[in-house]
Amino acid sequence: MKRAIYPGSFDPITFGHLDVAERALRLFDELIISVALNEGKKPLFTLDERTAMVREAVRTLPGHERVKVTSFDNLLVDYADQEGAIALVRGLRALSDFEYEFQLALLNRRLNARVETIFLMPRGTYMAVSSRMIKEIAKLGGKVDDFVPASVKSALLGKYAKS
């Protein structure tokens, strides 16, 4: 069984993330979407909230029964070994993403050559969508319906209503 891990902070998960996950499911038998603790990014949502949002969002994916949602707070390549994954899936939207992701992939290969990194691009509709931008739009009262699932929109509205 070919298993891949799609790691990220998913703060929050977007349609772009889901598009990359759907593409990965075409290539792998099983996909583990792993929500990173990543406190350095100062997430809007807690790890548990982000994990729950991802679980809810992936239910719409074709092949969702082959998706497992977890969280992790250790070295990604060690986590990949622990889960029996052969690849890491990373989404690329722009050239600026590629430079960072390329460096990370080379470092991960150096740490664990058994785990490959696969880069996937979301469809053009989602190329400019980032979680950071979605949070800013929601915070300023803009519409996020075209960028995130309804459950994520509700969570965003709930967070910013409290501010």
- pLDDT tens for the 163 residues of the chain, in order: 999 999 999 999 999 999 999 999 999 999 999 999 877 778 999 999 999 999 999 999 999 999 999 999 899 999 999 999 999 999 998 777 888 899 999 999 999 999 999 999 999 888 888 999 999 999 999 999 999 999 999 999 999 986 5
| 149 in any annotated domain | no
| 47 in any annotated domain | yes
Which domain range does residue 43 map to? 3-128
- What is the per-residue pLDDT for 162? 66
| 145 in any annotated domain | no
| 161 in any annotated domain | no
**If residue 7 lies in a helix (H) or strand (E), which one and from where to where?**
strand 3-8
Q: What's the whole-model pTM score? A: 0.94
Tokens of 108: 């991960």
CATH number, domain of 7, equals 3.40.50.620
Q: Which residues are marked as active site?
A: 17, 41, 93, 131
- CA 125, CA 121: separation in Å to the nearest integer? 11
| 162 in any annotated domain | no
| 142 in any annotated domain | no
